[in-house]
Structure formats: structure tokens, C-alpha cells
Amino acid sequence: MLKVIRTTMAMILAGGAAYAGSVAYVAPVVPEVMEEASGSMGGSGMWLIPLLVIALVVLVANNNSNGTI
């Protein structure tokens, strides 16, 4: 009878240790996502094209209004 009680206690202790899992806590790592802030025209110098067009229109309008034939 004593042998059965010892075996039962050993099984209970072994089962409890197996059920408990690992002792070490591993914190989950959240990956960082970096987004680049981009303007409406992409920020690659595309704003220069409308500026150049406006400058050309002003130059052409000034050149024709000088009174030349």
C-alpha cells in the first residue's frame, strides 16, 4: 500500500511540474515600422516643374508686351 501512495505522489509531482511550463518569461518583440512622410508631390523636386512653367509663362508674356513687332 505504501508503494502505491509513493508512486501516486511521484506522478502528481511530475504532472504538476510538466503542467507548469517554463520558468523564463520571454517578452514579445513588436517590430518597428517606419513610414516616410511624403508630400503631395513626393518630395523629389517635382514642385520645380510647375514653378518653371509659371516662370516661362511670365517671361513669354513680358517679352511680347514690350512693343516689339
Q: What is the pLDDT of residues 36-61, one digit of tens each?
A: 666 555 566 777 888 899 999 888 88
Place of cell 502505491: 4
CA angle, 38 then 43 then 45, to 5°: 170
Q: Greater confidence, 25 or 17? A: 25
Tell me the pLDDT band of 23, cut-offs 50, 70 and 90.
low
Q: Greater confidence, 59 or 63? A: 59
Q: Quick check: 41 and 47 in contact, CB under 8 A? A: yes
